[in-house]
Amino acid sequence: MTLLRYVQLYRRHDERLNNLIRHVILIGKLDTDAQPEDPEKEVKRKLKIVGELYDAERYEEAVEVCKELVQLAPDLSIARTRLGSIYFAMGDTVKARKEYDNALYLNPDDEVLRDFMRSQGWAK
């Protein structure tokens, strides 16, 4: 059973589950402290972790992993888009818009993001 499935089965405020998730995240971070042998693989791994944390509504942890991803791959527009989406889900539209702007700067052809920003009144 995946960690995400565990999270879906148990209540979010279950302290034992929260502790387990923190430990799993910590182990994942410790595992990445060493230089990755394959940076592309590391980017994909972090994108997957960010997605799982986002789906589990563990936004604070998702922000931290996404910031690591941005440091690892600063020119990757999807990292900025994901960070913006996390901030948006948290209700922080100022930070969300900043990250979406950064993503569009890196990938001006992203019409899906551009349309979303227009729908929010953030015309670009």
SS3 per residue for 51-87: HHHHHCCCHHHHHHHHHHHHHHCCCCHHHHHHHHHHH
Lowest mean pLDDT among 7-11, 13-17, 38-42, 48-52: 7-11
pLDDT digit string, tens, across residues 42-97:
999 999 999 999 999 999 999 999 999 999 999 999 999 999 999 999 999 999 99
* Cα 61 → chain centroid: 8
Handedness of CA 32, 37, 43, 49 (dihedral sign): negative
Tokens of 120: 């929010």
pLDDT digit string, tens, across residues 92-117:
999 999 999 999 999 999 999 999 99
What total of structural domains would you count in the chain? 1
Residue 11 domain-assigned?
no
Residue 17 domain-assigned?
no
Residue 68: which residues within 8 A CB-CB, separation 6 or more?
Answer: 29, 32, 46
Residue 60 domain-assigned?
yes
pTM, two decimals, is 0.70
For residue 77, the domain's CATH number is: 1.25.40.10
Residue 108 domain-assigned?
yes
Residue 12 domain-assigned?
no
